[in-house]
Structure formats: C-alpha cells, structure tokens
Amino acid sequence: MTYDTQRTGSATTTAPSSATWGLVRLGDIEGRNIIGLNDESIGTVGDVYMDYDEHTVRYCTVDVGGFLGMGARTVLIPFEKLQWSGEDLYLPVDKETLESAPEFDPMAEYDRTYEETVVTVWGIPTYWTAPTYGAEHSHWREGYDERPEMRHDRRSV
C-alpha cells in the first residue's frame, strides 16, 4: 500500500490507497480549487485549520475578491460547508454570503466572539457549545495539559 500523492498541474490527486479507507492528507487539500454555485472559481484552499481540542478539521482559508491579487482578502470557510466535486471543492453559497464573511488575519489573536461571527455568516451552529464537545476524552498527554499557554477555554463565547 502506498501513501504517496501525485501532483497534476495545480490539482492534487490522492493515492487510491488512501481514498479507499476514507482518509485525505491535509496537505492534499491545500491548493485545491474552490468553485461556487455557477461553477465559477472562488479561489484555492490556503491553510487548513484543525480544532485543537477535538482533532477535527474546522476551517480552511481562501483569498476572495480583488483583481489579479490586488485587493483580495482572506476569509475562513467552515470545512463542513465544502463538498467534493471531482478534484475541486464546491462551496454552495451565494456571492453575498462570501462577501459578508469577516476577514481573517492568521497573525491576529481571535476569540469565540470572532468565530461566532464566522459561523453565523456561514449559517452553521456553534460547535463548541454542543454537549458532546470535549466530553469524555482528552487529546492531552497526562501532565501536559497544565501549560497555561496551551490551555483553551473551550466553551466560552
């Protein structure tokens, strides 16, 4: 069994061995095209963000707007809004939703208030308020969850 991938142009083809068992490398998602309602190009996947506490992919970034790279802004797209469309990812939202998404700066400090704005624009529930969020499991090695710089207030808004 191989886990290698082959790059074809700007798209990435995931090795059949990984597709048959339902896993995709995060690196294989970055750079994929995102297309909209009328198959128009929205942009390409930039970074992919995983929930620190739940080990679940939550968001990806895409640069939207602008012309020839000028005036574009980066937004977070909830990964659950994306659908596979061959080698591309399909985002079934109108232009107004895309334009109303708040700008994302990966160097800024954010909190749940910002994230609540993001999920509200995209019309998805606040996952961190779900009763099962963070329940009955830990992804921390014993003794390593006490570092203040790594601690998150998982349910605060």
- Please check whether residue 113 lies inside any domain of the structure: yes
Q: How far apart are CA 7 and CA 24, in angstroms?
A: 14
Strand 41-44 and strand 33-35: the pairing is antiparallel
pTM: 0.74
Q: Would 95 be classed as within a structural domain?
A: yes
In a domain, 52, yes or no: yes
Q: Print the domain residue range for 102.
A: 30-125
Q: Which two tokens stand for residue 64?
A: 């939207």
Question: Residue 25 domain-assigned?
Answer: no
Identify the band that residue 86 occupies on the pLDDT scale cut at 50, 70 and 90: confident
> Given a cut of 50, is residue 6 above it in pLDDT?
no
Task: Give the total number of structural domains in the chain.
Answer: 1
CA distance 95 to 40: 11
Give the residue, 98 or 20, on which the prediction is more confident.
98
Check which CATH number belongs to the domain holding 91 and give it: 2.30.30.240
- Judge whether residue 3 has pLDDT over 70: no
pLDDT one-digit tens code per residue, 94-129: 888 998 999 999 898 888 899 999 999 999 999 988
Residue 147 within a domain: no
Higher pLDDT, 65 or 20: 65
